Amino acid sequence: MSLLKNSENVIVFNVERNGQSLDEFLFSNEISGRFFRRLYREKNIFINGEFQRKNKVLKGGDIVSIIIEDEIENTLPEPIPLDIVYEDMDLLVLNKQPYIVVHQTKSHQQNTISNGISYYFKNKGIKRKIRFINRLDMDTSGILLVAKSSFAHQQMALQFENNEVVKGYIVVVAGIVKKDQDVISLPIGRGEEKSIKKTVTQKGKEAITKYKVIERYKEASLLDVEILTGRSHQIRVHLSHIGHPIIGDTLYYKPSEYIGRQALHSHYLKAKLPRSKDNIELKAPIPNDIKNLINHFENY
CB contact at 8 A, 22 and 43: no
The residue from 23, 90, 137, 249 that is catalytic is 137
Which helix (H) or strand (E) segment holds residue 291: the answer is helix 288-298
Q: How far is CA 90 from CA 85, 93, 139, 176, in A?
A: 14, 10, 27, 42
Instruction: In whole angstroms, give the CA distance from residue 94 to residue 86.
Output: 7
CA 99 distance to own-chain centroid: 18
Three-state SS for 5-42 is CCECCEEEEECCCCCCEHHHHHHHCCCCHHHHHHHHHC
Does 289 participate in catalysis according to the annotation? no
Instruction: In whole angstroms, give the CA distance from residue 237 to residue 51.
Output: 51
Determine the 3-state secondary structure of 93 from DSSP.
strand
Q: At residue 278, what is the residue type?
A: D
Instruction: In whole angstroms, give the CA distance from residue 131 to residue 146.
Output: 6
Instruction: Give the neighbor-by-neighbor strand order of the sheet with 45-47.
Output: 10-14, 63-67, 45-47
What are the phi and psi torsion angles at 271 (to 5°)? Answer: -150, -175
Instruction: In whole angstroms, give the CA distance from residue 165 to residue 146.
Output: 15
Instruction: In whole angstroms, give the CA distance from residue 289 to residue 94.
Output: 18
What angle in degrees, to the nearest 10, is found between the helix axes of 33-41 and 150-161? 170
Which residues are known to be catalytic?
137
